[in-house]
A and B are shown apart, each in its own frame.
Chain A
Amino acid sequence: MNTVSTSEPLPSYESELRSAPSNALVATARRLLGDRAGAREVTLLLADYGVRVLRPVDPLPGADEPLSAQDGPAGRAFTEQTPVVEPAADGTAAVHVPVSVRGDRLGVLSARLPSPGADQAGVRGLVEFATALGHEIAAVERDTDLYLLARRTRRLTLAAEMQWQLLPGRGCGRPEFEIGAHLEPAYTVGGDNFDWSTDGGHLTMTVTDGMGRGIDASLLTGVAVGALRNARRAGLGLADQARLADQAVYAQFGGKVYASTLLLRFDLATGTVQAVDAGSPRLYRRRAHAVRQFEMEAQLPLGMFEETAYEEQIFSVRPGDRLVAVSTGVHGTRSPQGTPFGEQALREALDTVPAHAPQEVARSVVASLVDHFGSTDLTADAAVVCLDWHGREPATP
């Protein structure tokens, strides 16, 4: 497939995607893949907020049904983040490839490639194209609702609308680490949030659980996360980020409500972690098949009292470690019989998916929680963030 050629006389497909109107990326992809690779039935599927289904953007006639995000060829391409090829009798092949941005899984691009094109090189070309398309979708989302609409199987509550617009992606991957996160109930979430930011030397990650429900919880979390980011972007250390967010929340709400936050800052070169545990999100580590909860030094939630001082504690992660942070809605949820989801269930959930990617882990922990609770209508928000630590080769500059 000549879309990967670097010396083609045509403008590169990236340049065509960049200059396409924000609403026309799918039409442009159809045209490019049709002209340059003979592809037909080109469909962009995006994962819904709950990561249960893949829904088409700008669907082709008769192909507007959502597909499972777990099963079937497209679901497998999404879950396993690998191309899935379905050869047909006429020599063509339906090819499904993941659409992702630096480890954040957006969806799947499906296309029927002609018989001479559906070989390894053709599939590789489609994978490359899908990644370029994913990046361009991320670049246009501020100018159009189109892609975001395809992700909704139903209307979000206002609290969830506010919360999702505050969140980064659902995942982030780099050589040193891979993060996957999941929030439930996705369409009605209130005060649970996760956030991250990386630079050359560090990764800062937070999990926040704003008290209360609905819009109140969402506004509270908005202030707490906004203040944490504001302090982080001013170059302050972790304890001071917590201190300033504490003051901002207290100034706004006078101690009536508060946000529980776990703040972590990883040194990418050494695996040394600074941590502030301001409230209830819990942190578990899976190392060499053993799962244990980190005994963190519990400090006051953000905004509970005036002028709380926070202290950082230090621990370290090793290559191969998997960290899982869960909000109160996860570890505190009870089954119909009254058993809390708790550590045992969480261990089981972590043990059943040892080989999967962090986003799958986060999703399956929430799926176990839903099983445990007996309904998808969880009574409290559940946020799960899974981080796989790969570390850095010591020799790498």
Chain B
Amino acid sequence: MAVERALRTAAPHELPDVVGRELVRRYAADSVDLLVADYGLTVLQRVTDLPHTLPPVSVHNTPAGRAFGAQEPFVEGNFGDGSVCVHLPVSVRGDRLGVLSVTLPGGDHVRECLPELTELAEVLGHEVLVAERDTDLYLRARRKDRLTLAAEMQWQLLPGRSCSRPEFELGAQLEPAYAIHGDNFDWSATADRLALYVSNGMGEGIEASLLTNLAVNALRNARRAGIPLADQAALADQAVYAHYRGRSHMSVLMFDFELSTGRARVVDAGSPQTLRLRDGVVERIVFDEQLPLGMFEETDYLEQDFGIEPGDRILFVSDGVYAVASPKGEAYGDAALARAIQHTRLLPAADVPRAVLRELTGHRGTPTPDDDALVVCLDWRGQ
């Protein structure tokens, strides 16, 4: 498509305009809006010239929200008469960025051009991701509120919010999205393996964020040097201890999956909990708990084996989820979490973390969490 070339050569902030012009030229579109999901995944906000003055659109019960949630085009209005508005998911390899809403003259031909429109929205998603290196525009449009400095630092450390491949699908969400401290997730896939880390840095604010920054980068640094999982943990432990002398530490649950077999090596260095949904049954998986990274000098870590099967869904939750008490004192992790996993079993992996966190809000009885809450969902399809 010529539009792809135009997008590659356009200035980073001009991408919505380039797609808009293409849609006007090809389909006589009346209006074209790019909406991006906010950090908390509650609203979609228009990417417009700053300041952003247009009201945001809820991700629930709105036409654009339905396209975002279902990850398929949603057509508002009838093809037969007047004009229709087509809402198209804007995503990159399973990471949902937002929605492209296009108003165009109605007619049966619109149905036929849906695949082309869908592809155009996908093209735009890939290019937005690339352009984010050079412009704040899309990042700013994602903000419903200002981020705290700790959250600013934390978000820039994270990979996307979801990721899908033939062998697996991953989704993750962090709360409070605009004020997170030390919770983190990280993944990296190669041709044969998936590395997945879920971590919980001690403390609050910038301190927690700096600790996580140090520890996560130490894990990545070791992983990128081709070092096995237990040694990655040992090196990160040493890096954290060298800097904080045991005053601060980070809990992490580390997995190294083999994509062809589902066999995994695991190091459990602290608190994140694992729950598995298999054949309709939710079960807590317990690993050999070892010391958090940086608690003592020169801790040795041991790997253990674990296996995942096609059809399995695994949830990883931080203690900010697991240990939250209801007004009656019941910890969320006991039964309510299992119920939430059952309630959300029909949702795709990318949607599950947000849905579980919403149930957590109901459980807690107050809208604002006291601690970071992190949920990561892994659906295993296997090879």
Contact = CB atoms under 8 A, between A and B. Distances in A.
A172 interface: yes
Interface string A35-71: 0000000000000000000000000000000000000
A289 interface: no
A168 interface: yes
Given A148-B224, A215-B239, A226-B152, A135 B166 contact: no
B136 A223 contact: no
Contact of B139 (A21, A138, A227, A233): A233
Given A135-B126, A136-B126, A172-B134, A215 B149 contact: no
A320 B219 CA distance: 45
A162 B214 contact: yes
A142 B140 CA distance: 20
A223 B210 contact: yes
Interface string B134-170: 1111011001001111001100110110010110000
A145 B127 contact: no
Contacts of A142: 159-160
B83 to A, nearest CB: 28
Interface residues of B, number: 63
A185 to B, nearest CB: 16
A358 B38 CA distance: 36
Interface in A164-214: 165-166, 168-169, 172, 174-175, 196-200
Interface in A86-143: 101-102, 104, 128, 131-132, 135-136, 138-140, 142-143
Nearest to B130: A138
Given A230-B152, A248-B206, A14 B49 contact: no
B163 A143 contact: yes
A235 interface: yes
A143 B137 contact: no
Nearest to B133: A168
A260 B8 CA distance: 35
Nearest to A219: B210
Contacts of B133: 101, 104, 138, 168-169, 172
A143 B167 CA distance: 14
Interface stretch (A152-160, A321-329, A362-370): A152-160
A12 B156 contact: no
A252 interface: yes
B119 interface: yes
A343 interface: no
Contacts of B207: 252
Contact of B213 (A140, A162, A169, A252): A162
Given A166-B156, A200-B49, A223-B206, A128 B5 contact: yes
Contacts of A149: 224
A227 B149 contact: yes
B190 interface: yes
Contacts of A146: 190-191
Contacts of A24: 191
Contact of B134 (A144, A168, A252): A168
Given A139-B92, A140-B93, A252-B206, A200 B149 contact: no
Contact of B224 (A152, A226, A230, A252): A152
B134 A222 contact: no
28 contacts: A12-B4, A14-B4, A21-B165, A21-B189, A101-B133, A102-B134, A132-B4, A136-B126, A139-B126, A143-B163, A152-B224, A155-B221, A156-B224, A158-B218, A161-B217, A165-B157, A165-B220, A168-B133, A197-B136, A198-B134, A199-B50, A199-B135, A200-B11, A215-B242, A223-B149, A230-B149, A233-B152, A248-B206
The 7 closest A-B pairs by CB, nearest first: A230-B152, A161-B221, A226-B153, A142-B159, A138-B130, A162-B217, A23-B191
Given A21-B165, A197-B136, 19 more contacts: A14-B1, A15-B119, A22-B93, A23-B190, A135-B126, A152-B224, A157-B221, A158-B214, A161-B218, A172-B133, A174-B11, A199-B13, A199-B50, A200-B11, A215-B239, A219-B214, A229-B152, A233-B136, A234-B146
